[in-house]
Structures are given as structure tokens and as C-alpha cells.
Amino acid sequence: MTVKELLGRARKKLAAGNIEDAAIEGELLLRQALGLNRVELYLSLEDELNQQQEVAFRHLVKRRLNGEPTAYITGHREFYSLDFYVNADVLIPRPETELLVEKTIALAQRRTAPVIADIGTGCGAIAITLSRSLPQAKIYATDISVAALEVAKLNCLRHGVAGRICLLCGDTLKPLPEAVDFIVANLPYVKKTEMATSSFEPASALDGGTDGLREIQRLCHQAKGKLRPGGSLLIEIGYGQKESVAALLARLFPSTEIEVIPDLSGIDRLVSMAC
């Protein structure tokens, strides 16, 4: 069977299994099985595959149909045009989180040498992207998971920013050794009742408690002691959480300026507070 024929069959099977973007995911899985980049794959469409290659690819497709995310199967996820290593110890970076990065870059560029803290860093995508875009910045990246920090460390080395990012293990803001100019966070914000029982992603990176706001509320209460005068707090939020988070920040920081920014789908996704 040729590469083209096998790819076509896999795409149909993935689509029948209600996999979104079946064409793209089929391509990614086949590239993983054959060890090819996109150009190499399309130059090989008429090549015949051996049995071992077919078996390897069918196994990957089966894993995807069983619900395992393609990012975990391939070990890769693109974020902000950068390639990150991911595994089941970390949350898979989402496109909507790029909004958090873009807003932070826009604010931090106004400062000469900003100090930034990325809270709940996971694979390090936010911290690394900020470091690449803001080479003058000093960045702390915290996570309560030692396993997640190991993934972040690998990604820091991959992208050449290991010397500019300080990885710290601990709960929310507690590990920070100093106050910072920017606190950015994509913390768990899924309601416990909405947690998928079959999710392959770590529950600790998703579960935000009864109302989805448990970790966000804790962060907001801790921020006052860790945010420099004139600093900013930027938090990614979930659907319907805008009012609660904005109200909490208004109580904790009475003179603050609060901005809520929607993502490309129109969902209020980012709360930005400037002291």
C-alpha cells in the first residue's frame, strides 16, 4: 500500500471516529510513524510502505481513536509558532492561551528589564515564549508538579532559554523569592462537574474545584504581596467566570484597572489587572 492510500484510509477512519481535523491529525500521525517532516511526507506519497510501517501507523491511529491526544502520541505541540515537547505530565497548550502571551508581551515591552512570573508553567510554553520575545526579561516559572518542571526544563534547553528562566517547584506564588512586575497564569479553571472522566491530561492541571475558580481565587489573594507597585496580573479564565474574577480583584485591589479580553471565539478569556 502506498503512503497516499494509507493516509486516505486513516483520515476516513479518524473522521468516522468523530476526530476533529481528521485530515491534519492523520498526517501528523503518519509523519510520526515514518519519521518524516511535512515536505518529506508529500514527496513520498507514491512510495510503498512495508508491513512494519503499516502496523506502526495503524497502532498510532488506534491510540487516537481511543481518545489519546495526538500531542501525547507524537510528543509535540505547536504554540506561538514554537514546537514544544509534551507528555501526559503536562497540559497540552491551547491556541487561546496565546492571547495571554500577546497581552503580556505588549505590556512588558514598555519596561526596560521586567521581572515576570509564570504560575503553573506546565510544559513551559508561556514562560519560554515570553523569554524568546522579551530577551531582557527575568522570568520565574513555577509549578507544583516536579514531573511538569522536568518537561519545562527540556523545553527551556530546546529553545535556548535555560539561562533566562528560573524554574521553581511549589504552590502558586509561594516559591517566588521576590516581588515581580508581571504575574501571568493559566491555572486550572474547569468545574469539577465538567471534568471528563476519560481525559488523558493530568486532572491537577484542569480541576478548578466546584466553581472552577479555586486556584484562581488563591492566586488573587496571594498576588498583593508578590506584585510590585505598577505591576500587572494576567489570568486566563473559562466561560462565564469573568464577573466573579473581576469582582474579586476589584475588592482586593480597589484602585486597580481591570480589563477583560475575549478570545477569537468571542469567549471572555483573559482578565488583566494593572495596579
DSSP string, 85-122: E--TTSPPP-GGGHHHHHHHHHHHTTSSS-EEEEES-T
125 close to 85: Cβ distance less than 8 angstroms: no
| Radius of gyration of the chain, Cα coordinates, nearest whole angstrom | 21
Percent of the chain with pLDDT strictly greater than 70? 99
Nearest Cα neighbor of 85 from 96, 73, 97 is: 73
The pTM score is 0.93
The 10s digit of each residue's pLDDT in 175-192 is: 999 999 999 999 999 998
Q: What is the CATH number of domain 76-274?
A: 3.40.50.150
Residue 167, all three cell numbers: 524554574
The 10s digit of each residue's pLDDT in 132-156 is: 999 999 999 999 999 999 999 999 9
Quote the CA–CA distance of 217 and 214 in Å, as a whole number.
Answer: 5
Could you give the residue range(s) of every CATH 3.40.50.150 domain in the chain? Answer: 76-274
Domain 3-74 matching CATH 1.20.910.10: the answer reads: no
pLDDT, averaged across the chain:
95
Could you give the residue range(s) of every CATH 1.10.8.10 domain in the chain? Answer: 3-74
Quote the CA–CA distance of 64 and 56 in Å, as a whole number.
Answer: 13
- Of all helices (H) and strands (E), which one includes residue 171? none
The 10s digit of each residue's pLDDT in 5-43 is: 999 999 999 999 999 999 999 999 999 999 999 999 999
- Of all helices (H) and strands (E), which one includes residue 21? none
